[in-house]
Structure formats: structure tokens, C-alpha cells
């Protein structure tokens, strides 16, 4: 689906897509706890204060450093102004937490638990997800706490704005946006990977010619053993060099065309159920792929369950439409809360960045209004 739920920034900071997870197989970030290092060097001053709360430098640094580690794992860079955007989110969360009720906190915990379960499923196993958390320097407890805070803030915002979506609005959106509910053909596979690059370098550098030749001999031998009837999961756990899938017997999350490396994708979709491929060569190494099953392209109905959230598509769509309304109304509401709670940004540089972010938002809104007319 092309519509998306609002995703917690704490979760977004550590999540990589199934494509990135596979294309960067066995390539965890060499994470260092930069947030702790900064705190040790410069202390942990308050950078924001409002009625009933403060935000410390370490809170901002932790989210930013996790996002940097995640971006580095994908050979990407964070956009300009990212720190100011994170601070704006943290301010909004704290302002809303001051208004949260017990019902908001219960809804937030349930939402956060659901998001966590969906992420574990996306990574294929609890172990694979824990490795990703480790790579970006975050613990499960920290992640769950941040996610619960943000989900609670979202629940409080939804309640205070009193945003609803009627059944008529829901049906109209579904009827008028058929492409949003088209699901492409997908495949689910197991694979064994022997890497021909060094994953600790950025970008990954090729292994020696002799080592690559040795890896080729090993993968050919593994293919023979599979052809002779040995269990794929057992061999994947023993020999695969993809840490994101080896503990799960080489299982990868279900994927559509366009997410995997071209050679990997072409081989996967050409197989029949339970068929094992020949050796497939990609920029990361030698793969053997077993097709577990394919799902044909289809159109989602409102009554069926989502694979990611376990909600019905109707409920997921309703949440998305509500979130769309919230996004439109939230900026003015948060601006009002900033005034009411006497918000101050104590760090001069962050104050300047926050002012620039606010000015850009006003300009963007004016431009959107002009285009609409």
C-alpha cells in the first residue's frame, strides 16, 4: 500500500528496509556510542525547558547518533537540518506527554508493542532484530520506552484534536484510490550467502582472488549437498555468512520485484516452489536460493488482515486517514502548546536551527496554499 502510518522516530532511527537488509547482508554498522562520548566530554546540559519538563542534550544525541549509525550501515548520509527536525519531534512529544491521560498511556503502550512486533517480523527473527539494535547502539528497553512515549504522545494528540474518519470517507478513499491497494507478486525464499567482499570496509572491498576461488569451491560443494537431499535450513545455519538470516535457516522476509539485487531477484522469481537455484553471483558474493512460495499480484479488500500490523485493511486505512488529518492540524496546535507551556530552547545554535525550521514550514505551507489556488 502507498499510504503509511505515522512511524515512531525512535523506530525509524533503527529500521532498514528488507531490501537494504538483504543487499547489505552481513554488513552491520561499526557502531560506537557517540552519544555517551559527547556526554562524557561536554556534560549533559538541559537544552530545552517547558512547564513540567526539560530535554537534555543526551536525549537528542542518542536519537541522532542512532540515525547516523543506521545511515552509515546503508552508505547514506542524513539530510541537512536533521538534528533540528529531531529536536522539534522531541519537543512535541514532551509537550503532549504533559497532557496525556491514563487511557492515552495504555493506548501508547499497545501501539508501541504492535510496532515492535511488526519490526521483528520484518527482520525475520528476534535475533536478527537484536543485532540491528546492537549495530546502532540501542537496547531493547530504550527502544520500547521511546516508542511508548511517542505512541502515547500520538494518542494524546489524536484525542485532543478529536479527529475521526467516517465510514463514508473510508469507502470513498478506497473507491477513488484503487492503486493504493494493489499488491504486486511477491516471493519468499531461503538463501545461503558466501561473501566475496569484506563487509567491514566502506564501501565493501573485494576479497583476494584466491579467497574468492575458495568461496566458489565451497558454494559449489554446498549446492551438491543440497541436490543430494541435505536440509537447506541446517546448511544455512552452519555455513551462510548473512547474519540477518542464517540463524533463521536462511529465511528472508517476503519481497516484491524491485527490492532485491537484479540477479538475486531474477533467480528467485524464476523458481518453482521448493526448487533450489544454481549458484547466483551478486556484488556481495555467491548465493544459493530456495523458493518457499510465491503470491500472485492482487487487490487488497477492506476486510482482509494486514501482514504487518495484523489489523484489517479498513482499520489500517482509517488510521492512515486520521493521521493525514492530524498532520494538517498538528503544527498550529503544537505551536499553541509551545506558547502555553512557556517553551524555551536554551542552546543558542539549536534555537537558531529551530527558528529556521519554523520559517521553512511557514514558507512551505504558503507555497502549498498558493499551488492549491
Q: Per residue in 325-347, pLDDT tens?
A: 998 899 999 999 999 999 999 99
The three-point CA angle 322-323-326 to 5° equals 90
Strand order in the sheet with 285-295: 255-256, 186-195, 285-295, 280-282
Q: Per residue in 177-196, pLDDT tens?
A: 999 999 999 999 999 999 99
Structural domain contains residue 138: yes
End-to-end alpha-carbon separation of the chain, Å?
Answer: 29
Structural domain contains residue 179: no
Res 215 pLDDT > 50: yes
Res 252 pLDDT > 90: yes
Res 168 pLDDT > 70: yes
Query: Where does the pLDDT of residue 370 fall: very low under 50, low under 70, confident under 90, or very high at 90 and above?
Result: low
Return the CATH number at 75. Answer: 1.10.4030.10
d(CA 259, CA 282): 14
Res 126 pLDDT > 80: yes
Residue 132 in contact with residue 85, Cβ under 8 Å?
A: no
Query: Where does the pLDDT of residue 18 fall: very low under 50, low under 70, confident under 90, or very high at 90 and above?
Result: very low
Instruction: Put residue 244 in one of left, alpha, beta given phi > 0 → left and psi -120 to 50 → alpha.
Output: alpha
Q: Which of 296, 311, 330 represents a domain boundary (last residue)?
A: 296
Q: Per residue in 268-318, pLDDT tens?
A: 999 999 999 999 999 999 999 999 999 999 999 999 988 767 789 999 999
More confident residue, 37 or 302: 302
pLDDT, residue 368, reads 63
Res 75 pLDDT > 90: no
pLDDT, residue 34, reads 53
Structural domain contains residue 3: no
Q: Per residue in 349-366, pLDDT tens?
A: 999 999 998 888 877 766
Helix axes 82-97, 57-73, angle to 10 degrees: 130
With H, G, I as helix, E, B as strand and everything else as coil, classify residue 49.
strand
Average pLDDT in the 143-158 region? 90
The answer to whether residues 344 and 288 belong to one domain is no
The answer to whether residues 311 and 366 belong to one domain is yes
Q: Which of 274, 296, 318 represents a domain boundary (last residue)?
A: 296
Res 157 pLDDT > 90: yes
Res 6 pLDDT > 50: no
Res 103 pLDDT > 90: yes
DSSP secondary-structure letter at 27? -
Residue 231 in contact with residue 159, Cβ under 8 Å?
A: no
Average pLDDT in the 231-255 region? 93
Residue 262 in contact with residue 254, Cβ under 8 Å?
A: no
More confident residue, 75 or 4: 75
- Highest mean pLDDT (candidates 17-26, 33-42, 79-88, 269-278): 269-278
Res 371 pLDDT > 70: no
The answer to whether residues 126 and 205 belong to one domain is no
The three-point CA angle 282-21-109 to 5° equals 170
pLDDT, residue 9, reads 45
**Greatest C-alpha distance within the chain:** 72
Closest CA to 57 of 334, 341, 347: 347
Return the CATH number at 288. Answer: 3.10.50.40
The answer to whether residues 44 and 147 belong to one domain is yes
The answer to whether residues 94 and 209 belong to one domain is no
The answer to whether residues 128 and 85 belong to one domain is yes
What percent of the chain has pLDDT above 90?
A: 55
What is the b/e burial string over 143-161, where b = at least 16 CB atoms within 10 angstroms of the residue's CB?
A: bbebbbbbbbbbbbbbbee
Structural domain contains residue 177: no
Structural domain contains residue 51: yes
Say how many domains are in the chain: 2
Q: Which domain, by its residues, includes 339?
A: 9-171+303-372
The answer to whether residues 41 and 92 belong to one domain is yes
Structural domain contains residue 320: yes
Please tell me the pTM assigned to this model: 0.64
Res 24 pLDDT > 50: no
Res 39 pLDDT > 90: no
Average pLDDT in the 62-67 region? 80
The answer to whether residues 145 and 58 belong to one domain is yes
DSSP secondary-structure letter at 246? G
The answer to whether residues 129 and 233 belong to one domain is no
Q: Which of 296, 322, 356 represents a domain boundary (last residue)?
A: 296
The answer to whether residues 265 and 280 belong to one domain is yes
Query: Mean pLDDT over all residues of the chain?
Result: 84
Structural domain contains residue 2: no
More confident residue, 13 or 367: 367
Q: Of 57-61, 164-168, 291-295, where does mean pLDDT reach its minimum?
A: 57-61
The answer to whether residues 266 and 310 belong to one domain is no
More confident residue, 206 or 4: 206
The answer to whether residues 164 and 66 belong to one domain is yes
Structural domain contains residue 64: yes
d(CA 356, CA 353): 5
pLDDT, residue 127, reads 84
With H, G, I as helix, E, B as strand and everything else as coil, classify residue 4.
coil
Any residues with CB less than 8 A from the CB of 332 and at least 6 apart, and which? Answer: none
Amino acid at each position: 500500500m502507498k499510504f503509511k502510518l505515522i512511524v515512531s522516530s525512535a523506530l525509524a532511527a533503527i529500521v532498514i528496509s528488507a531490501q537494504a537488509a538483504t543487499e547489505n547482508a552481513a554488513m552491520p554498522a561499526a557502531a560506537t556510542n557517540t552519544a555517551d562520548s559527547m556526554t562524557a566530554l561536554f556534560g549533559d546540559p538541559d537544552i530545552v525547558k517547558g512547564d513540567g519538563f526539560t530535554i537534555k542534550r543526551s536525549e537528542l544525541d542518542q536519537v541522532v547518533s542512532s540515525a547516523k549509525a543506521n545511515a552509515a550501515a546503508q552508505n547514506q548520509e542524513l539530510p541537512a537540518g536533521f538534528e533540528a527536525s529531531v529536536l522539534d519531534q522531541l519537543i512535541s512529544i514532551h509537550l503532549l506527554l504533559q497532557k496525556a491521560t491514563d487511557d492515552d498511556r495504555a493506548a501508547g503502550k499497545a501501539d508501541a508493542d504492535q510496532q515492535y512486533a511488526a519490526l521483528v517480523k520484518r527482520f525475520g527473527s528476534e535475533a536478527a532484530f537484536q543485532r540491528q539494535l546492537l549495530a546502532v547502539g540501542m537496547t531493547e528497553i530504550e527502544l520500547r520506552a521511546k516508542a511508548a512515549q511517542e505512541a502515547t504522545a500520538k494518542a494524546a494528540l489524536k484525542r485532543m484534536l478529536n479527529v475521526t474518519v467516517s465510514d463514508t470517507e473510508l469507502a470513498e478513499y478506497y473507491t477513488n484510490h484503487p492503486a493504493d491497494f494493489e499488491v504486486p507478486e511477491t516471493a519468499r525464499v531461503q538463501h545461503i550467502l558466501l561473501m566475496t567482499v569484506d563487509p567491514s570496509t566502506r564501501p565493501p572491498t573485494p576479497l583476494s582472488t584466491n579467497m574468492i576461488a575458495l568461496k566458489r569451491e565451497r558454494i559449489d560443494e554446498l549446492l551438491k549437498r543440497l541436490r543430494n537431499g541435505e536440509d537447506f535450513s541446517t546448511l544455512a545455519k552452519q555455513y551462510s555468512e548473512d547474519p540477518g538470516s542464517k540463524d533463521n535457516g536462511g529465511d528472508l522476509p517476503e519481497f516484491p520485484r524491485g527490492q532485491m539485487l537484479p540477479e538475486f531477484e531474477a533467480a528467485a522469481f524464476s523458481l518453482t516452489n521448493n526448487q533450489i537455484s544454481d549458484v547466483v553471483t551478486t556484488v556481495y558474493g555467491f548465493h544459493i536460493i530456495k523458493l518457499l512460495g510465491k503470491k500472485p499480484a492482487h487487490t487488497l479488500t477492506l476486510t482482509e488482515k494486514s501482514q504487518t500490523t495484523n489489523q484489517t485493511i479498513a482499520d489500517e486505512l482509517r488510521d492512515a486517514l486520521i493521521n493525514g488529518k492530524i498532520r494538517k492540524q498538528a503544527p498550529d496546535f503544537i505551536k499553541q502548546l509551545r506558547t502555553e507551556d512557556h517553551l524555551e530552547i536554551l542552546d543558542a545554535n539549536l534555537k537558531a536551527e529551530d527558528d529556521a525550521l519554523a520559517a521553512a514550514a511557514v514558507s512551505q505551507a504558503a507555497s502549498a496554499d498558493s499551488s492549491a489556488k
